[in-house]
Amino acid sequence: MSDRPLTYGSYLKVPELLGLQENRSAPAHHDEPLFIIIHQVYELWFKLMLHEIDSAVELLGADRVGEATRLLRRVVEVQRVLVAQVKVLETMRPQDFLGFRYHLNPASGFQSIQFREIEFLLGLKDPRILEHLRSEPEETARLAARLATPSLADAFAALLRRRHPEAAGEDRQLEALVAIYEAPEAHADLLALAEVLLDIDENLSIWRAHHVQMVERMIGARRGTGGSEGVAYLQSTLPKRAFPDLWRVRTRIGQEPA
């Protein structure tokens, strides 16, 4: 421990943080710092999201629904920032990106381990992702561990089974949700949680949609640096849902007028 008093910079490790942006273009392209910083900022927010969702899973396991919901609301607000950030990137012109894009090859956002951890932790577990990833062994191991640990969707399903024993069995979860949505005052805490989960799912979809639109604006129909078809591949991910029953329940509740 140093005997110097703590400062803003030493507490937050600002000098180290500011030393982490290394242009690969030489001479440095004007827009490469934007590209590096925006990705690094995303990764920092991803780290916080994982921290909050991990805690929420644990809290749900202990039936602390209100506290889990509070932390998940924070995740929703972070996601709003993530969506808004896409606009900052759109201030870059396609020709600017082309000016340094070849230096990134074959790196791609596809390889963001934390993004995949978030997907797996929410409940979108796809073991094929592990086969297609090029990353450090310890990162791959971290992601593989996520496959084996209960997701937020699992924790929510287990909570529903505890509170609505008639909801045991996958196909019964939807029935429990119908009961909750149709008697909101009797299940206020579960309903608040369900709506926050839906917000998280919706914000992830909105991010995917904004990202693919931005990608089309930037590279048109070119292939991705990660080797995918690019925009066509990203469009195929748009229907992903971590909490499909929370979308289905909308069709089931309420009476149709006779």
Selected from 55, 213, 228, 235, the binder of ligand HEM by CB under 6 A is: 228
Q: How far is CA 177 from the centre of its chain?
A: 24
Among the candidate windows 38-46, 156-164, 172-180, 197-205, which touches ligand HEM by CB under 6 A?
Answer: 38-46
Write the CA distances from 231 to 82, 216, 217, integer angstroms. Answer: 20, 6, 10
Distance of closest approach, residue 67 Cβ to ligand HEM, in angstroms = 29
Write the CA distances from 185 to 70, 180, 181, 190, integer angstroms. Answer: 19, 9, 9, 10
Question: What mask, x for binding ligand HEM by CB under 6 A, covers residues 76 to 115?
Answer: -------------x-------x----------xxx-x--x
Restricting to residues 153-172, which ones interact with ligand HEM according to CB under 6 A?
Answer: none
C-alpha closest to that of 212 among 244, 243, 178, 238: 238
Distance of closest approach, residue 46 Cβ to ligand HEM, in angstroms = 7
- Helices then strands, counting H and E runs in the chain, come out as 13, 0
User: Contact between 143 and ligand HEM (CB under 6 A)?
Assistant: no
Q: Which is nearer to ligand HEM, 112 or 205 (CB)?
A: 112
Q: Which is nearer to ligand HEM, 34 or 178 (CB)?
A: 34
Q: Are 157 and 173 in contact (CB under 8 A)?
A: yes
Q: Which is nearer to ligand HEM, 10 or 236 (CB)?
A: 236
**How many angstroms separate the CA atoms of 219 and 89, rounded?**
13
Instruction: State both tokens at 98.
Output: 């082309």
Q: Are 86 and 42 in contact (CB under 8 A)?
A: no
Selected from 70, 191, 233, 244, the binder of ligand HEM by CB under 6 A is: 233
Instruction: State both tokens at 104.
Output: 């990134």
User: Contact between 224 and ligand HEM (CB under 6 A)?
Assistant: yes
Among the candidate windows 59-67, 149-157, 168-176, 211-219, which touches ligand HEM by CB under 6 A?
Answer: 211-219
User: Contact between 45 and ligand HEM (CB under 6 A)?
Assistant: no
Distance of closest approach, residue 146 Cβ to ligand HEM, in angstroms = 15
Asked whether the CA dihedral 54, 199, 141, 13 is positive or negative, the reply is negative
Q: Which is nearer to ligand HEM, 110 or 243 (CB)?
A: 110
Write the DSSP assignment of 100-143 as a string of letters: HHTTTTT--GGG-HHHHHHHHHHT---THHHHH----HHHHHHH
Using CB under 6 A, list all residues that contact ligand HEM. 38-39, 42, 89, 97, 108-110, 112, 115, 211, 215, 218-219, 224-228, 230, 233-234, 237
